[in-house]
Amino acid sequence: MRKASRKTGFSLLVLLILILILGIVLFNNELRTLGSLKKVDDYGMFQMTYYGDYGFDGFLKTGAKSDRDIERYVTKRLLKGLPIDLGVTGDGCTAFVVRNEKDEIIYGRNFDFSYAPSLQVFTNPDDGYASVSTVNLSFAGYDESTLPKGISINSFLVLVAPYLPFDGMNEKGVAIALLAVPEAAAPNDPNKVTLNTTTTIRLVLDKAASVDEAIQLLKNYNIYFSGGIDCHYLIADATGKSVLVEYYDGALRVVETNEDYQIASNFIAYNGVNIGEGFSEFDRYDTVEEEILRNDKVLSNQQAVDLLAKVGVLDGDTDKLQWSVLYNLTTGGIELFANRKIDNIITESLNMK
């Protein structure tokens, strides 16, 4: 009996070891990814490196006509069946492209909304460009009382981060950010694959080496705006070229600039229609432009950071500035901070190729 019991115990131990080894093999990239997750600001700001294939090339073959389609895809492809409920947020954002005193192209961006934890994620797909992007984790269901933490079930939903960028820069020096606008009317071609607000950004980050390539890529796809939050996109590259891509009057519209800088806020700029939300979008735009002109169309990195902190949205006693990021499209430098906290700037760098 004792020998049989020992044999049974040994067999169970071997089985458990085999299951553990199989789990590590099957979830190796997921575990490495979650193992890289760290908090960089107590406001609720995190960093993570995504390891492995997140299946975006497969997604581009079918796209998604609704958030539910995306949820089904990432649930099967990335979350191993764990369900997710996506919910887009957007409010008063500001972005600008300008040169610094070293003649480098810098791209600044604020994201303003009610409390939203954020994640800076680094990706390096086999068939695409390496990039860094900022993700709104409230999109994936996190809030102030429920934040990711290391390798745990609670952190598993951050694995969808590659599909949820709100802004980013790739190794070719292409940067893009979404900003909410009062309305958008995109064309719909039944012969084209459809993407949503954030997977459109992933498309540009993974596949575009220039502003021109980004525009052409966007023309190859339909778009729908998640959660009914209409948006436009400020896109720039390392040559200094920048455009504002808007979906207006049933067509993709490209707003160019004759200046050495370009600014975007929460109003439709195409053809000078200037349709805004009636909040602070024009004041923020004017504040940025006045600062750029006051400095002869050149801003140092510090001036750009200070400007981002200055134009973040204040709604009464509520500070809506969730994160600010400054991308250097020439060097790959990154400066990121949460909630106007310029005393805790997270600096990183992306290797430019």
CATH value at residue 334 = 3.60.60.10
- Tens of pLDDT along the chain (353 residues) come to 555 455 454 445 544 554 445 445 456 898 899 999 999 999 999 999 999 999 999 999 999 999 889 888 888 888 766 666 665 555 579 999 999 999 999 999 999 998 999 999 999 999 999 999 999 999 888 988 889 988 877 888 899 999 999 999 999 999 999 999 999 999 999 999 999 999 999 999 999 999 999 999 999 999 999 988 999 999 999 999 999 999 999 999 999 999 999 999 999 999 999 999 888 999 999 999 999 999 999 999 999 999 999 999 998 889 999 999 999 999 999 999 999 999 999 999 999 99
Three-state secondary structure string covering the chain: CHHHHHHHHHHHHHHHHHHHHHHHHHCHHHHHHHHCCEEEECCCEEEEECCCCCCHHHHHHHCCCCHHHHHHHHHHHCCCCCCCCCCCCCCCCEEEEEECCCCCEEEEEEEECCCCCEEEEEECCCCCCCEEEEEEHHHHCCECCECCCCCCHHHHHHHHHHHCEEEEEECCCCEEEEEECCCCCCCCCCCCCEECHHHHHHHHHHHCCCHHHHHHHHHCCEECCHHHCCEEEEEECCCCCEEEEEEECCEEEEECCCCCCEEECCEECHHHCCEECCCCHHHHHHHHHHHHHHCCCECCHHHHHHHHHHHCCEECCEECEEEEEEEECCCCEEEEEECCCCCCCEEEECCCC
**What's the predicted TM-score (pTM) here?**
0.91
* 174, part of any domain: yes
Question: Range of 235's domain?
Answer: 36-349
Nearest to 44 by CA among 327, 309, 322: 322
Alpha carbon distance 263, 308 (integer Å): 12
**Through-space distance between the first and last CA atoms of the chain, rounded to whole angstroms:** 67
* 15, part of any domain: no
pLDDT at 85: 64
Q: How far is CA 137 from CA 4, 47, 142, 155, 298, in A?
A: 52, 11, 6, 11, 33
* 4, part of any domain: no
pLDDT at 325: 98
* 21, part of any domain: no
For residue 21, count CB atoms less than 10 angstroms from its CB and return exposed for 0-12, middle for 13-18, buried for 19 or more.
exposed
Task: Tally the domains of the chain.
Answer: 1
pLDDT at 252: 98
* 71, part of any domain: yes
Copy the structure tokens of residue 279. Answer: 């909040």
* 164, part of any domain: yes
* 58, part of any domain: yes
Phi, psi (degrees; rounded to nearest 5) at 183: -155, 155
* 24, part of any domain: no
Q: Which residues of 78-114 are buried (b: 16+ CB within 10 A; e: fewer)?
A: bbeeeebebebbbbbbbbbbbbbeeebbbbbbbbbbe
